Structure 1
Amino acid sequence: MRTDRLVAVLLLLQRREQVTAAEVASELEVSERTARRDLDALATAGVPLYATQGRGGGWRLVGGARTDLSGLTASEARALFLVAGPASAATPTVKAALRKLVHALPEPFRAQAEAAASSVVTDPRRWGSSRIEHRPPRFLDELQDAVIHGVQVRLGYVDRGGAETERTVHPLGIVAKGLSWYLVANTEAGRRTFRIDRVSSVDPTDDPVRRPDDFDLAESWREIADEVDRKRTPVEAQAVCVPDGIGVLRIAFGGRLEVGGTTPDGRVEVVIRGRDEHMLAGELAGLIDWVEATGPPAVRDHLAAIGTALVERYG
């Protein structure tokens, strides 16, 4: 704690031209006597610090001496504060760390870094509701610690059907997907993904995680997400689209759309994935100005049935 306080005093001196013991005491929430001892300790340690007596006196750094404790460039500082913010959503620990870091930054960087931290606001409430819809899952902190410290955990887990099991896993990383959190871990059965809100218990062990040398969390998650998407949308429909309709399809289908080559009549071949033929037909029916489904036959049959029903009702 003393070391942290001495660094904080030094940063305060760098931020202001002059400080008094009373100002240091107020900033660090210590007594004036402790503040004076800390200032004396810095001077004894060789920090170019001197005191001026009398009214308007205080402590100053000789010649405005500065120590950049961060080593960050201007763009790195902005990026860090943008990622660490928004300040409105930061935990008390993060806010304290940001305060210390902003004091350590060189003067030209400080205003931009503080502006970056306040440039984004996170509002977790849905429109029309004053209630926050989502909270972090119960065991998120424990699993983050296990990943950081590289230790195996005995994990209690409740599956989709409500059955609870326990297994020992090697935590490799944590991913936030929308409002859900996932643990990526190695198990005896291979690499698995666990929804953290279904975790019922976490018991860290003393055994180290066996982490593959070539493991990359972002790449691993992309593979997992692609596999999940394909399992959820196993049916493919082939179609041709007018060129200016591709943007519409990208908005409508996102990652379920694959764009191919150009046909002799100038249209673009596309493949669209969906849960089943009926769902795909329903989605394509509203895009008739841009898209013509070419297969499979079941999708075309559903589209014809939708067209007949629309004509009967509205024709």
Structure 2
Amino acid sequence: MSRHLPPLRLFGVFETICRTDNLRAAATALNVSQPAVSQSLRQLEDHIGARLINRNTRPASLTAEGEILLRATEDGLGRISGAVDEIRRHQAQRGSNVTVACSVGVATLWLMPHLESFYCDHPDVQVNVITSESGAPTIAGDVDIAIRFGDGKWSDGTVTPLLEERIEPVCTPELAERLTLTPERLHAAPLIHVDVKDPRWLGWTDYLAALGLGRPTHPVQLRFSNYVQATQAALAGRGVALGWRTITGGYVSEGRLVAPVEATLTPPSSFYAVTAFDRAEDAATRRLLDWLASLSGGPSDIRHPGRRAGT
């Protein structure tokens, strides 16, 4: 359709002529000469194949064809102008908003507790957090940064290492004292399981097998569908959970959970931030990404609401 249209600039000239009522005023408004305006009008008429302005009247008036085109031109230019304004508002809003996608556990137990400190340093940036069940949420829609657990070999954005995971058993200090566990007896403890489909998130069976510590044998085997529920069960003293640094590290640093035995495993996967290519150079996104990378210290750096670094 666009191949049959006159050059779009001619519609702007035509609208200006109609709005200012004469060629001289239109030339002044467009900052061009009056002959240039007349030539543009003739070009538009030649393209359409009809006279748009009746030059035999004083003042000049629109022909019937001119009336039809003016209504369409005003409507079209108005819609384009509105679209441009909407895009500019959207861009201005995005300039101070960053959307992060991550799993429920990472959002609840790692990202959200830290955001207060980010806002203290960057009060002009609004962070929107959306969660998914997957440990590797996609870059889609308005997502600027996806926090993923994996090998870092993704091609849909700029990949930045964040945290190397660490896995260790955790429970309340009271339960640890009562159980008096050793690594060899860990399989016989009341274990809290998390049933996830992602094989990168090791469960108790894989963890114990990797360290050569047998298979779970205790009659009490609590099972949950996510790490947030499992962590709450561990905090309630209901059993021993498989603690992941990003999920339980803050509670360990606070002393609410402890490692009843020294049996640490470093999985092959780690946490990464994947930034959408078209947002990698955005100032607000860059500030959040730099801040996320700065959180890659040990578990003592991971705290929860109500606890500030250094307190």
**TM norm. shorter chain > 0.5:** no
Higher relative contact order (CA 8 A, sep 6+): 2
Q: Which protein is richer in strand relative to its size? A: 1
Q: What TM-score comes out, normalization by structure 1 length?
A: 0.31
Larger Rg: 2
Q: What TM-score comes out, normalization by structure 2 length?
A: 0.32
